[in-house]
Amino acid sequence: MSKQVLVTGGAGFIGSHLADELLRNGYRVRVLDNLSEQVHDGHPARPGYLADDVDLMVGDITDPGAVGRALDGVDAVFHFASMVGVGQSMYQIADYVAANDLGTAVLLEQLAEQPIERLIVASSMSVYGEGLYRTTSGELREGQERSFEQLKAGEWELHDATGAPLTPVPTPESKTPSLASIYALSKYMQERACLIIGRAYSIPTVALRFFNVYGPRQALSNPYTGVLAIFASRLLNDNRPIVFEDGRQRRDFVHVRDVARACRLALERTDAAGRVFNIGSGQSQSILDIAAKLSHLLGRPQLTADISGRYRAGDIRHCFADLSTARSGLGFEPEIDLDEGLSELTGWLRQQDATDRFDQANRELACRGLAV
């Protein structure tokens, strides 16, 4: 009989694509999801995109009874259940700690009683804070959090102690975490807790640090989701995308189907256990360029990005993935380049309705002094 896999948070964006990937490869899939109204735009019902063959159990990751029932007969678990978003995590602190930290603890206590063959936890590039940099003399340097004085002066780039500029380079898993938000802190807790308990109870465990995942099914009306979805929501409502700082900050955008395939590889590669892997595209794009590409593809080139010159607490300047470890340890290689992925995304976007809640979220951050 094929293996039974549980995906916590599996009715969401990445989890549903993972379910498709697993079903295509002969696995049976169960999902535990609370169908959060923020993620599902106020419609807490089974999403139409979730494959019919998925066994959906509606329940919360913090409920031991629901988690125990979901684990019945399960061979492996993907732990995706999480609240996401840097900005929101800085004021809904208790909610993020409960969903991410307590939810993970509940799952791990259940697994201690009924160990499984493999546990894969979704971590995040946010745990790095700033990425890795190179000095003018060629030395590698870990980026440090920028001071508020620097940000207030509009000095966005990182410099060394002498004032010389630092050049961003791909960030490897060996880079020391620098936790600049409650979201980042909670993701690092999820990652470390799973690896610690996995080792203690002989549960082979893998942590995957996702970079900026994009693609169809992303929640367009959630103003704390990925930047591409936020830009898309603005554009679909004939509003200009808003970019913070000067828009030249660089990120790594990886297609959701590449991420789903990486997750399956983490399940199947026996030598991946106990390790942490970056999952990205290995390429960097500026936020300003991404906004322009999306505006063009959606037929709204006149809606150029509004460069705000403002900054948000918890934001970092540059971070993109070094994939060397994922290539050697998982056999992972991204297959969908950005142009192909954006073309597919815009085809899906044209069929969607989106409520643009960016201004509301931005006012919330501003009134709390978190966006200046």
- As a whole number of angstroms, the distance between CA 8 and CA 80 comes to 5
Rounded Cα distance, 272 and 166, in Å: 33
Residue type present at position 191: E
Assess contact for 130 and 167: CB atoms under 8 A: no
Close Cβ partners of 55 (under 8 Å, ≥ 6 residues apart): 28, 29, 30, 31
- Closest-CA residue to 179 (of 229, 130, 240, 237): 130
| Token pair of 254 as six digits | 């990886």
Residue from 96, 133, 183, 214 carrying the catalytic annotation: 183
- Lookup: tokens for 184: 């980042």
Catalytic site includes residue 183:
yes
By annotation, the residues acting in catalysis are 183
